[in-house]
């Protein structure tokens, strides 16, 4: 289990995310696809879950990037 903050929902509390014990095996390869990337908090949380399961080959891709106030990075 790990906690993530949702910048999209702007809730004051963090959300708990977890995987069932048998979802990932030690040598599984994982691809995480996120539809929107704000600050990457959800992606980092998912990567932590993969690391906790000792799975290998974790890759991450996102489709759209949100521009939050104070950020100047362009959408790709």
pLDDT in tens, 7-44: 777 777 888 999 898 899 888 988 888 776 777 888 88
DSSP structure class, residue 39: S
Q: Are 37 and 62 in contact (CB under 8 A)?
A: yes
Rounded to whole angstroms, how far apart are CA atoms 72 and 74? 6
Domain boundaries, the chain: 2-65
What's the average model confidence in pLDDT over 59-67?
69
What's the average model confidence in pLDDT over 43-63?
84
Please determine, for residue 2, whether its predicted confidence score (pLDDT) is greater than 90: yes
Chain centre to alpha carbon of residue 49: 9
Rounded to whole angstroms, how far apart are CA atoms 30 and 74? 27
Q: Are 45 and 32 in contact (CB under 8 A)?
A: no
pTM for the whole structure: 0.69
pLDDT at 72: 52
pLDDT at 76: 41
């Amino acid at each position: 289990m790990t906690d993530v903050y949702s910048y999209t929902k702007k809730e004051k509390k963090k959300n708990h995310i977890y995987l069932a014990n048998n979802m990932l095996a030690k040598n599984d390869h994982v691809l995480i696809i996120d539809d929107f990337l704000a600050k990457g908090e959800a992606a980092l949380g998912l990567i932590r879950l993969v690391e906790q399961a000792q799975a290998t080959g974790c890759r991450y891709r996102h489709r759209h990037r949100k521009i939050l106030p104070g950020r100047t990075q362009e959408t790709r």
